Amino acid sequence: MTLNVLAVDDSRTMRDMLSMALTGAGFSAVLAEDGEKGLDALKEGQFDAIITDINMPNMDGFSFIGHVRGQDQFKSIPILVLTTEAAPELKAKARNAGATGWVVKPFDPPKLVRALQLVAG
């Protein structure tokens, strides 16, 4: 199954790793460096799933998730949070904002691919 995934992370290294993991699994990947650019990318394409970091400049992941969920056409797109953060209160904040799941960095590419297939398949 080919998924079109939007990955939002301010780290170039992480975007490169996500690109390799996603394209290696046969997915197409669009990469954005912060929440603002992620919202711009959403306007340009159709996505089956979104991956977002939390700590980013310009617009953090929580705000990004809130903006995505605030638009009817994007309400059903699964959103996975991919971050170094593991605090339960942050997970709850992300869930309350509309996140579908939470993955802690560093990530295992096959597990990330399986998680995407589960939430978007």
The mean pLDDT value for 41-46 works out to 94
Tokens of 76: 């059903």
Domain spanning 4-120: CATH 3.40.50.2300:
yes
| Integer angstrom CA distances of residue 30 from 46, 52, 61, 87, 102 | 10, 12, 16, 28, 20
User: What is the per-residue pLDDT for 71?
Assistant: 95
Q: Residue 117: what pLDDT?
A: 94
pLDDT of residue 98: 96
Residue 53 has pLDDT above 80, yes or no: yes
Q: Which of 49, 116, 115, 53 is nearest to 84 (CA)?
A: 53
3-state secondary structure of 7: strand
**Mean predicted lDDT score pLDDT of the chain:** 95
Local structure of 31: helix, strand or coil:
strand
Rounded to whole angstroms, the Cα distance separating 112 from 80 reads: 9
pLDDT digits (tens, 9 = 90+) for 70-117: 999 999 999 999 999 889 999 999 999 999 999 999 899 999 999 999
Asked if pLDDT for residue 1 goes beyond 70, the answer is: no
How much of the chain exceeds pLDDT 90, in percent?
A: 94
Q: What is the pLDDT of residue 86?
A: 87
Query: What residue ranges do the domains of the chain occupy?
Result: 4-120
